[in-house]
Structure 1
């Protein structure tokens, strides 16, 4: 199919808009000092905390998001539309609003948090709060992408397995999951990338305590004026990880298609 000549103009503008700022970041990055900067205490604390919390939150997203996508894809009724909307809202919600919602619910004086505090459970402004915030914003990315994949795949294989006597759980584990493996991997990669880049909800709900709640994006934000070189070095790390994850996600999505 031929492409109209005029389409190349907005294509070029879009490409420049996306590529030039990234190029500017890469040009300004202190490449010669990168090993020194990335081995500093602040950098290692932020990197370690981000990776640890993102791994935990991504596992939570995978554990609760996969069945959620299955239920939404295989169920009918008006309630599914409401639930689908609820699942999608965090994708478009301003991160600071998401953090405020978590704080007013799970904070020390929150709707549920005040009762948890009575028994000695504190979530707000702890490492657990970072995991909760990341899970909250990343969960929709897996559910939405996986639900679409389940609908596209259809239910022929599941119906055949059920006809042969397989239980719903066995069908899910031995038939549905192998078919959807590329989609699950792609959605998980996107969820991990979203969790890694989370900023607003984390800052509002978890605060910024070095080694406890100060993740990579928060550290970059704080360093942007006091230590520009370290901020740029950490930004390069985030950019590299994001590029690898998105590239992997696209490759997996392509193999699924």
Structure 2
């Protein structure tokens, strides 16, 4: 088989894969007049869902950064018994069906769940509230930030940390002066990826928080609701969600490019 024939044989599957993976997304923008899509977004359903999604994902990503960053650092730089098992458990949300996650959250935080009864004593109900939306988003998006953050910390040479310590710099200051700046590009990539995933989270939110407009209805849930009565509105919300996700992924690409140049550029 000649080199030209081999290239043509490879080109076919490549083109089919590209078309299959991009055409459904492109159709969201081309199936309706852009002006019509924009006008549909003035609907109160879309506005409330957008506002709630922005609010909840901002809270979610803040919580993820605060609590998962130290975990990622410990998983990268520490060695302890059972580490492999813990690593597997921490990755489970990536492969667990979202509906199963929603059921699990209900079994723990529901009125008759493991911890739900305790919270009920203080008059706190978590399921089917905005707090439940945040919890579902945090649960599903955390592993993506954890993996990215851990890889970033892995790339920070232990020798640099040891040198800092030998100079009398405390572990806390070493982290902020040495480790954090070097790992920052990867941390930002993790933020963007987990934010995009939280923005598109559906199954766990539906099961644990419900689908109440203005209270728990995020953009993906608004699409689900709009499909039952107004397909045009569903397409408009889909286009909005895809646009935001594209911007976040573009940000990831730019961060990755910066990270490569940051590592190869001599100080």
1:158 deviation in Å? 1.2
1:154 deviation in Å? 2.0
Equivalent pairs counted in the alignment come to 256
**32, 36, 41: which is aligned to 2:39?**
36
Residue number in structure 2 paired with 1:51: 54
Residue number in structure 2 paired with 1:168: 171
Matched, 1:148 2:151: yes
CA-to-aligned-CA distance 1:171-203 (integer Å, 9 cap, x gap): 111211111111111100001000000000000
Matched, 1:129 2:132: yes
Matched, 1:230 2:210: no
1:227 deviation in Å? 0.4
Q: Indicate if the aligned counterparts of 2:156 and 2:179 stay in contact, CA closer than 8 A.
A: no
Q: Which moved more, 1:232-241 or 1:114-123?
A: 114-123
Q: CA RMSD in A?
A: 1.5
Shift >4 Å, 4+ stretches = none
Aligned ranges for residues 196-211 of structure 1 at < 5 Å? Answer: 196-211=199-214
Residue number in structure 1 paired with 2:116: 113
CA-to-aligned-CA distance 1:102-141 (integer Å, 9 cap, x gap): 1110111111011111111111110000000000000000
Larger radius of gyration between Structure 1 and Structure 2: 2
Structure 2 CA distance for aligned equivalents of residues 225 and 34 of structure 1: 17
**249, 254, 257: which is aligned to 2:252?**
249
1:147 deviation in Å? 0.8
Q: Which moved more, 1:208-217 or 1:29-38?
A: 29-38
1:222 deviation in Å? 1.1
Aligned ranges for residues 40-79 of structure 1 at < 5 Å? Answer: 40-79=43-82
Q: Indicate if the aligned counterparts of 1:30 and 1:233 stay in contact, CA closer than 8 A.
A: no
Instruction: Please report the TM-score for the alignment, with normalisation by the length of structure 2.
Output: 0.92
Q: Indicate if the aligned counterparts of 1:69 and 1:147 stay in contact, CA closer than 8 A.
A: yes
CA-to-aligned-CA distance 1:147-185 (integer Å, 9 cap, x gap): 112112322221111111111111111211111111111
Q: Indicate if the aligned counterparts of 2:151 and 2:186 stay in contact, CA closer than 8 A.
A: no
Give the unaligned 5+ runs of structure 1: none
Q: Indicate if the aligned counterparts of 2:61 and 2:195 stay in contact, CA closer than 8 A.
A: yes
Instruction: Please report the TM-score for the alignment, with normalisation by the length of structure 1.
Output: 0.95
Give the unaligned 5+ runs of structure 2: 261-267
Matched, 1:100 2:129: no
Residue number in structure 1 paired with 2:263: none
1:93 deviation in Å? 0.8
1:25 deviation in Å? 1.5
Residue number in structure 2 paired with 1:216: 219
Matched, 1:84 2:87: yes
1:237 deviation in Å? 0.5
